[in-house]
Structure 1
Amino acid sequence: MASTKFIVEGMHCGACTGRVERALAAEPGVTGASANLVARAVRVEFAAPASAATLAAALERAGYPAAEAETRLTIEGMSCASCSGRVERALAATSGVLSAAVNLATHTATVRYAQGAIAPSELAQVVTEAGYPARVASAGTAPEPMAQRQANEVRVLGTHFLLAALLTAPVFFLAMGPHLYPPLHHALARILGEGGMQEIQFLFTTLVLVFPGRMFFRLGLPALLRLAPEMNSLVALGAGAAYLYSAMVVLTPALLPPGSFDVYFEAAAVIVTLILLGRWLEARAKGQAGAAISRLIGLRPATARVLRDGTVIELPIEELASGDLVELAPGARIAVDGVVTEGSGFVDESMLTGEPVPVEKVPGSAVTGGTVNGTSALLFRVTATGTDTVLARIIALVEEAQGQKLPVQALVDKVTRVFVPAVMALSTVTFLIWFSLGQGLSAALVAAISVMIIACPCAMGLATPVSILVGTGRGAELGLLFRRGDALQRLAEIQTVAFDKTGTLTEGRPALTGLFRAAQMPENEILRLAAGAESRSEHPLAHAILAAAKARGLPPARARKVTATPGRGLSAEVEGRQILLGNLAALREAGIDTTPLNDAAGAFAQEGKTPVLLALDGTPVAVLALSDPPKPHAAEAVAALGRAGVAVTMISGDAQATAEAVARGLGITEVTAGVLPAGKVEAITALKARGAVAFVGDGINDAPALAAADVGLALGSGTDVAIEAAEVVITGADPRGAARAVTLSRAVMRNIRQNLFWAFAYNTALIPVAMGALVPFGGPGLSPMLAAGAMSLSSVFVVTNALRLRRAAG
C-alpha cells in the first residue's frame, strides 16, 4: 500500500472536493482519497494497478488537474544501460513521480512529479539509495556542472588508466613474455623461480584491483547484493573470479585439484586496464559530443562596460540589470539582450541563427547576448539578463531535448533490463558445460569470465542518447532548436512539409515590386506624389509606397484633404493637383477611363501582385504593383526538400490567385488558399492521409496548424523565439531551416540505427564465440583480455560514430 498527495488548485468549494474524491476513488487500486479544501490538496491511499501517473490522469479527466513540477538530477556511477534503467525504475516506483527519463550520455534524470507529494531532494535520495549518488541540478547553472563533470570524468579516468597500465605492465610481461620468447621463461625461472614470478603478479594485480580497479567493485558488488546486477557487476565478477582463483593457486594450492595450478592474474589486471581505457576514450568522446552546448555557454562574456552616472565601469554580467546602458566596442561580443540606443552597424548572429550574413542594427534594433559586434561602436539598453536571455533559453531548450528519450529507445530499455542477468546465466551455463566436458577448472573459468566481460551492455545504452546529444547540439549550431527529443524521430518520417505563406516563405510585409507608366512622367515623380497622398494613411500598402520612396531618397509631397474610402483607395490634393490612388473600381466610380491601365493591372494581378492605380487630375497615369516578396532562399528551401523526397505544399489565408502566383515562383505545385486558421488545420488533416506531415509557420498566428501537424516547425527571428508554438524552432527567418531540420533528423535516426545494429550484432556474434561455440570445430575461443578490449572498443565505436553528426546538414 502506498500514499501520495496532490496539490489541486482548482478546488474552490465542498462540491469540488467531493468530485475530486469520487474521481480518485473510482480508480482501480485506490483504497481512500481525502481532499482538503483549505490546503487545496488531496491525499490518496492506493495499490497496484494504480500509480501516481494514473491518479494524475484521473484528476485531469475530472477537470481538476494536479499541480506538477519538474526537476533535473545529476547522477554519478551510471556506466551502462542497465544502470540507467535501474535508476529510471527506482524513480518511477516512487510515490508522487509521474514520469522519469534518465539519460546515460549526460548522466542526468528529468523527473516530472506531483507538486507537494515529494521534494526534489527526496528524489535525489531515492536514486542515491539505489546505488547511484545523485543531487538536484540547479536550473540557473545546470550547463556549467555538466561540462565540468565531463572534464572531471576524463581527468579521473585518465589517471586511473595510466596507473592501471603501469601496474599491469610487469604482470603482463611475466605472464605473456615467456610465451612469446621461450628463452625468457628459463631466465626468469632461474632468477625468480616459478613461485616468485606468481607472487610478483599477485602483488601488482592486487594493487590494480585495490586502487584503479576499486570503482568496479565499489559499484558492482552492492548492485549484485541488491539482486540488480549491471555492467560494473560483470567486470567485478569477471576480474574478481580470475584474481581469486589465481590467488588460491599462490596462497592455498592444496585446496585445488591437480593440474589446476595455472594463474590468470594478467587476465584480471588487463581486463581492468582495458575497460578503464575504453571508459576514458568514451568519456573524451562524450565530452566532444556535448561540445555544442559548451560552445554556446562560452559565447557569454564575463564582463560588460556599463554607463553609470556618466562614467563607464566594467561589471560582471551577473550584476547587469534591465535598463542599464552598455557600451559595445567594435568586434566585442554582446553580453546580454538589449535594444540599440545609439550608433548603427552590423552584428554577426551566425552562432545563434546559423546565418552567416551579418545583420544591420540601428537605434531601436534588438541585439542578442552572445552575438558579435562588427566594426561600429554601439550603445544598447539591457532588456533581459540571466536565464531570461535568448542564449540562456536556447541552452535550456537544447539540454532539455538532449535529456529526452526517442520512441526507438523503448526496445533497448526492454532488452537491457534482462540483459545482465541473462549474461550471468549464460556465463554460469558456459562454466558448467566446459567443466562437465572434462576441460578442467581453469578452461571453464576462462570461458565463463570471457562471456561476462564480452557482453557488457555499454554500447546498447549509449547508442541512442549519444546520437541525440550530438544531433541536438549540431541543430543548435544550425539555428535549429528541438524542444522535444522525440521530434527528431518523427521529423525523419515526414513525407509532406506544408508551409504558411506570409512571413514564412515571403518577407511578411508588402513592398513595391513593379511600376507601369501610362504617361510621360518620371517614376520618381510618380512615387513622390503617391507617397505624399499615402503619408496620412495607416494601410499596410501605404507603408509599402512610403518605404519605396524613402529607399530612393524621395521626400513625400505635401498633401491635404485626404479622404480614404475602405475597399477602394484614397483621394487627396497634392501640391495643387487632385490625386486618386486605388483599385479599378475606385477609378471607374470616379468616372476615369482606366483603359490605358487595364492590361498592366491584369498582368500584375496574374503575378500575384496587388495593382494600385494612380490618376492625376482625372487622367490615368500609372499602376504601382505591391506584393509580399518571397524570401531570398525560399525557392532553395523548397528545392532542397524536393531533393530529399519530401512533398511540399503551401497553405495560406491569401487569395487563391496571389498564393498560386507565389507558389509558382517557388516551385510549389499544390496550394490551399483563402483559409482561416481552422481551415489550415483541416488542410493538414487531409494531408495526413498520405503520411506524416510537418507544418512550418511563424509559431504564433499558426499555432493551431503547428499543433495539428505531426511535427510543427516555428520560424522565429533570432530574438523572439516562439518556444511554445512548435516542437522545432528555427531561430532565424530562413525557411531553409526546415530542409536542414529534415536532413539532420534523418541523419540522426540513421546514426542511431547504425549504433543499435553494431551494439546488438556485436553481442549476438561474440557471446557464442566467448562461450567457445567454435572450439569444437577448430575455431578460436576468446580470452578474457581480448573480450575486455573488444567490449571497450564497442562503446568507443558507438560514441565515435555519433560524433560524425557534428558535420551533418551543413
Structure 2
Amino acid sequence: MSTLNTLSLPVYGMNCAGCASKLQTALNEIEGVTSEVNFTLEKAQINFTGTSERNEILAQVINLLEAKNYQTDLQTFSFDVVGWSCANCAKKTVKSLANHPFTFNVNSNFATETVQFQTIDGAFNKQQLKALVDSISYELTEKQHKNFAQQQNSKQLAQQKRDKKVLTLLSISVLLSIPFMISMVMMLITGSHHFLPRTLEFLLATPVQFYIGARFYKGAWNSLKDKAANMDLLVALGTSAAYFYSLSILISGLDHPLYFESSTLVITLVTLGKYLEHRAKQSTSSAINALMALRPDNARIKKGKQFVTVNIDDVQVGDIVQLAIGEKVPVDGVVVEGTSYLDESLLTGESKPILKEIQEKVIAGSINGEGVLLIKTTAVGDSTSLSKIIHLVENAQMSKAPIMQLVDKISAIFVPVVLVIAALTFSIWYFTTGDFQHALINSVAVLVIACPCALGLATPTAVVVGTGVAAQQGILIKDIKTLQQAFRLQTIVFDKTGTLTKGKGAISHCYSTDNQNSVMLAELAAIQMGSQHPIATTIKDHCLAENITVASASDINAVNGEGIHGIVEDKQIIAGNLKMMQRFAISIPTDLNFSASESVVYVAKENEFWGLLSITDTLRESSIEAVTELKLRGLKTIILSGDKHSVVTDIAHKLQVDDSYSELKPEQKLAKLIELQQGNHIAMVGDGVNDAPALAQADISIAMGTGSDAAKESASITLMRNDPRLVALAIDISRATWHKIQQNLFWAFIFNTIAIPAAALGYLSPAIAGAAMALSSITVLTNSLLLKRIKIKDLS
C-alpha cells in the first residue's frame, strides 16, 4: 500500500471539496512533501520530496489534521521485548524505531519490557514490519495481531458507528422539523403565520440549531481560524441570522412573522443532503472495495510433508501453496501440480473461467474452480498483480485533471464572493423597500443556496466511478490526464507481434546446410535462453516439446530490431533478420523458399550461413473485430512493426488497417511515431521492451497485460488480458468519463449561475434554497454513478 516515498492516508471530517482543497494547500506548506487530497475518496496522498526526517514530517501531518479537526486511521503496534538490561537499552530501541519514516509517538516501558509506536493504518505490511523488527538489536514479539479481515472489519465497524451517529442526528432533526413542514403547508393554504405556538417554534428550532447544527459551527470556526471560508460558514451564517432574528422578535413580543422554520429546515435538508452524498460517495468506490476483498487472509503452505495454515503476510516467495476448491488464490505463482479452471473476471474482466495447468501462471485474487492446485509462490504482498492493480486504480482516482486547477481557484474565492453578494442583497432590499425581514430572508437564501460542493464533486466522482468501471473490465487507467487525452484521439498505432498476433508462433520450416536441424535448434535456443522475445519463446518451446537438449552459451548480445549472437561450444552463433546478417557480412543463398506471411530467422555459425527457421505467428481471433470497432469510432489504424515487410503487409491486408510500416528498429518506431504525431493525437498499443520508447512518446500508451514490465511502466493504460478489443472499450469508458466530467461541471456552474441571482431577487425561500443546494450535489453524484450503466459489449 505504501512505499518509502509515498503514503496514502484516510481523512475524515471534510465537509466539502473546498475543505479538501484548503487541506491540500496546508499540507503542501509542510517542507519536504507534496500532497493530493481527494474529497470523494476521503484520502490524502503524501509524497515525500525532501531529505528531512520523514517521521517528523508525518508527525507534522498528523498534528495538522488534528488542528483542523480532521481524523485519520492510526494503528498502534505493541511489542514484548527480550534482552533489555537497563533503561538505556529501552532508549536505544526507541531511537531505532523512531528512525523509520512512518513511525511516530514511539514509547517504551523498561519495567514492563514493552515498546510501542503509532503509524498510519496500512503503512506497514507484514514483511515491512518484520524487516523493521529484525533491524532492532533485541528480540521483539508483537503483542497484537490483526489480519486483513479484522482490519477491514474494524474500519467497517468504525464507519458504521459514524453512519449511525449521523443517521440518529438526522432522524432527530427530521422529527423536530415535521411540525414546521406542516406549518408551511398550512400557511400556504390559510395565509396565517401562527399555526404553531411561537414558544413551541423556539423549542423545536433550538436543538436543531445548536445540537444538530453544531457541525456547521465547528466547521465555520475552523475555516475562520485558517483565514478561509467554506460551505459551513455559509450555512452557519444563514441559519444563525434567521434564528437570532426570530429570537429577537419573540423576546420583544412584536407581532412579526418568525423564521425558525427557515433555520430548522435548512439545517435538516443540508444534513440530509450530506448524508445522501456520503452514501453515494461510498458507492463510487465499490470497484476498489471489490478488488480489496479479493485478498484472502490465510494460506496453506507446505512445511515438510504437511500443509500448515498461516497468515497471508507470512507467505514467502518460493513457498508451495495448496489451493482448495472454491478458494481465492492468495499469491501470484506458477502451478506445479494439478489442473483447474480459475475465475479471473474481477481482475482481468475475462468472463469465462480459464484452464490452468502445470507451469501456467496464476494471479492473486483469482477464484479456484473444481480442482486442487499446488502453486509455487512468485510474488507476495505488495508485489502481487492484485496489489499493483489496486495501487494503480487508487493513484488514478487520486489524480487531478488540469481543469481541476481552475475549479480549485474558483472554489477558493467562491465563498468570499457569495458573502459579498449576500451583503449586497440585504443592503439593496433593505434600502429600496425598507423591509428588514424581507432583506434578511433573501440574503439568507443566497448564503444557503451557494454551496460549492457540486463544483468540487464534479470531477473526482466521475473519475472514481469511471476508473472503477474500467478496472472491472480489466482496463487499468493510470491517471485522469489519460481520460482527457482519450477524448481527442484520432489514430491508434499497433505493434504487431504479441499485440495483434498471438506472439506464440510455431516453427513451420527448419533448414540447416549440414542437415543437423536439432543441433542448430539446440545452439540457437542456447543464445535465446535469457530472452522474452516471442520468437525466442517459440524456439525454446519447440525444443522443450521435441525433447531437444539445449546447449549452454556465453557472451550473449542482442541487437535491437535485428537479432542476437553469442558463443556456444567456443563458436560464435548469430541469429536474426537480413539486417543482422548484413551487419556480420554473411552471405545468404538466393534460392530459399518460404511464405511471405512467415517470419524468418537466419542462423550463422562462425560467420558462415548455417540455416534458417520460418515461424508462423497467427492473428488473434479478436484482432479483426478490434480494428473494425476502432474504425466505427472514426479512428485511423496503423501498424508499426520490426518484422519483415512481407509479413507486416500480409497482416495489414487481413486486418484492413489504414497504413503499415515494417522492419523498424525501436528508435525508428519512435521516429515514425513522432512524425505521425504532427497535428495528430495518437495512442500506441504494444507489449514488448522494444515498444517502450514509442509507448512513452505517444499521447496515450496502451500496454497488453502480459507484455514486458518496461512496456507496462511506460503505459498510461494497461489491458489485463491480451484482447485488442479492449482498446475500443478503454476509449469508450475514457470518453464517457470525460463527458460526465463536462456534464457535471456544466450543471454545477449553471446551478450557481441561476440559483444565486434567483435567491438574491427573492424567488427562493431559505428552506427551498437548502433543498436545492443538497439536490445539486446529489445530482452530480448520481450523474457520475450513471457511468456504471455504460453499455459494455460482450467480448466473450
Common topology (TM > 0.5) = yes
Residue type of the alignment partner of 2:201: Q
Pairing of 1:179-218 with structure 2 (within 5 A): 179-180=187-188, 182=190, 197-218=197-218
1:798 maps onto 2:762 in alignment: no
Is the alpha carbon distance of 1:608 and 1:363 closer, same or farther for their aligned partners in structure 2, counting shifts above 3 Å? Answer: closer
Match of 2:109 in 1: none
Match of 2:764 in 1: 782
CA contact (8 A) 1:654 1:674 kept: yes
Is the alpha carbon distance of 1:185 and 1:785 closer, same or farther for their aligned partners in structure 2, counting shifts above 3 Å? Answer: closer
CA contact (8 A) 2:688 2:707 kept: no
1:288 maps onto 2:283 in alignment: yes
Compute the displacement of 1:321 (Å). Answer: 2.7
Match of 1:747 in 2: 736
Match of 2:171 in 1: 162
Is the alpha carbon distance of 1:747 and 1:513 closer, same or farther for their aligned partners in structure 2, counting shifts above 3 Å? Answer: farther
Compute the displacement of 1:273 (Å). Answer: 0.9
CA contact (8 A) 2:31 2:50 kept: no
Q: Which region of structure 1 is more displaced relative to structure 2, 650-659 or 732-741?
A: 732-741
Compute the displacement of 1:798 (Å). Answer: 0.5
**Aligned mates of 2:37, 2:601 — CA distance in 1:** 59
Consecutive unaligned residues in structure 1, runs of 5 or more: 1-66, 189-193, 516-528, 570-582, 589-593, 613-622, 776-780
**Aligned mates of 1:414, 1:565 — CA distance in 2:** 64
1:661 maps onto 2:669 in alignment: no
Pairing of 1:124-163 with structure 2 (within 5 A): 124-130=62-68, 132-133=70-71, 136=120, 138-140=122-124, 144=152, 154-163=163-172
Compute the displacement of 1:72 (Å). Answer: 2.9
SS at match of 2:634: coil
Pairing of 1:234-273 with structure 2 (within 5 A): 234-253=234-253, 261-273=256-268
Compute the displacement of 1:236 (Å). Answer: 0.9
**Aligned mates of 1:219, 1:565 — CA distance in 2:** 74
- Aligned partner (choices 729, 733, 752) of residue 718 of structure 2: 729
Compute the displacement of 1:632 (Å). Answer: 2.0
SS at match of 1:660: helix
Q: Deviations over 1:5-32 (max 9, x none)?
A: xxxxxxxxxxxxxxxxxxxxxxxxxxxx
**Aligned mates of 2:484, 2:384 — CA distance in 1:** 29
Q: Which region of structure 1 is more displaced relative to structure 2, 164-173 or 685-694?
A: 164-173
Question: Normalised by the size of structure 1, how large is the TM-score?
Answer: 0.76
**Aligned mates of 1:568, 1:279 — CA distance in 2:** 65
Residue type of the alignment partner of 2:725: R
1:645 maps onto 2:629 in alignment: no
SS at match of 1:464: helix
Match of 1:178 in 2: 186
Match of 2:623 in 1: 634
Match of 1:86 in 2: 22
CA contact (8 A) 1:531 1:545 kept: no
**Aligned mates of 2:157, 2:701 — CA distance in 1:** 34
Pairing of 1:409-808 with structure 2 (within 5 A): 409-511=404-506, 536=522, 538=524, 588=591, 601=594, 604-605=595-596, 607-608=597-598, 610=600, 626-698=615-687, 700-717=689-706, 723-772=712-761, 781-808=763-790
**Aligned mates of 2:266, 2:712 — CA distance in 1:** 48
Is the alpha carbon distance of 1:721 and 1:169 closer, same or farther for their aligned partners in structure 2, counting shifts above 3 Å? Answer: farther
CA contact (8 A) 1:154 1:284 kept: no
CA contact (8 A) 2:331 2:364 kept: yes
CA contact (8 A) 1:205 1:266 kept: yes
**Aligned mates of 1:488, 1:330 — CA distance in 2:** 39
Compute the displacement of 1:701 (Å). Answer: 3.0
**Aligned mates of 1:80, 1:565 — CA distance in 2:** 67
**Aligned mates of 1:397, 1:185 — CA distance in 2:** 58
SS at match of 2:524: coil
SS at match of 2:402: coil
Match of 1:114 in 2: 49
Match of 2:565 in 1: none
Is the alpha carbon distance of 1:151 and 1:411 closer, same or farther for their aligned partners in structure 2, counting shifts above 3 Å? Answer: farther
CA contact (8 A) 1:700 1:725 kept: no
**Aligned mates of 2:395, 2:576 — CA distance in 1:** 52
Residue type of the alignment partner of 1:382: T
Compute the displacement of 1:768 (Å). Answer: 0.8
Residue type of the alignment partner of 1:754: Q
Pairing of 1:308-347 with structure 2 (within 5 A): 308-347=303-342
Give the aligned length.
Answer: 669
SS at match of 2:433: coil
RMSD between aligned residues: 3.6
Is the alpha carbon distance of 1:210 and 1:74 closer, same or farther for their aligned partners in structure 2, counting shifts above 3 Å? Answer: same
Q: Deviations over 1:607-655 (max 9, x none)?
A: 455599xxxxxxxxxx996321122212222222222222111111111
Residue type of the alignment partner of 2:178: A
Match of 1:379 in 2: 374
SS at match of 1:432: helix
Match of 2:85 in 1: none
SS at match of 2:774: helix
Task: Tell me which structure has the larger Cα radius of gyration.
Answer: 1
Question: Normalised by the size of structure 2, how large is the TM-score?
Answer: 0.77
Is the alpha carbon distance of 1:567 and 1:203 closer, same or farther for their aligned partners in structure 2, counting shifts above 3 Å? Answer: closer
CA contact (8 A) 1:502 1:508 kept: yes
**Aligned mates of 1:677, 1:146 — CA distance in 2:** 49
**Aligned mates of 2:223, 2:754 — CA distance in 1:** 27
Q: Which region of structure 1 is more displaced relative to structure 2, 153-162 or 693-702?
A: 153-162
Is the alpha carbon distance of 1:294 and 1:140 closer, same or farther for their aligned partners in structure 2, counting shifts above 3 Å? Answer: farther
- Aligned identity (percent) is 34
Consecutive unaligned residues in structure 2, runs of 5 or more: 74-119, 126-147, 529-534, 550-568, 578-585, 603-611
Match of 2:38 in 1: 103
Is the alpha carbon distance of 1:797 and 1:681 closer, same or farther for their aligned partners in structure 2, counting shifts above 3 Å? Answer: same
Residue type of the alignment partner of 1:328: L
Is the alpha carbon distance of 1:546 and 1:724 closer, same or farther for their aligned partners in structure 2, counting shifts above 3 Å? Answer: closer
**Aligned mates of 2:15, 2:251 — CA distance in 1:** 34
Residue type of the alignment partner of 2:374: L
CA contact (8 A) 1:71 1:120 kept: no
Is the alpha carbon distance of 1:658 and 1:296 closer, same or farther for their aligned partners in structure 2, counting shifts above 3 Å? Answer: same
CA contact (8 A) 2:12 2:70 kept: yes
**Aligned mates of 1:408, 1:185 — CA distance in 2:** 48
**Aligned mates of 2:708, 2:613 — CA distance in 1:** 34
Q: Deviations over 1:444-485 (max 9, x none)?
A: 111011101111011000000111111111121111222233
Is the alpha carbon distance of 1:183 and 1:415 closer, same or farther for their aligned partners in structure 2, counting shifts above 3 Å? Answer: closer
1:349 maps onto 2:344 in alignment: yes
Is the alpha carbon distance of 1:155 and 1:290 closer, same or farther for their aligned partners in structure 2, counting shifts above 3 Å? Answer: farther
Match of 1:29 in 2: none
Match of 2:141 in 1: none
1:399 maps onto 2:381 in alignment: no
Compute the displacement of 1:740 (Å). Answer: 1.9
**Aligned mates of 2:654, 2:509 — CA distance in 1:** 16
Residue type of the alignment partner of 1:214: A
**Aligned mates of 1:691, 1:220 — CA distance in 2:** 49
Pairing of 1:7-86 with structure 2 (within 5 A): 69-86=5-22
Q: Which region of structure 1 is more displaced relative to structure 2, 134-143 or 633-642?
A: 134-143
Is the alpha carbon distance of 1:759 and 1:720 closer, same or farther for their aligned partners in structure 2, counting shifts above 3 Å? Answer: same
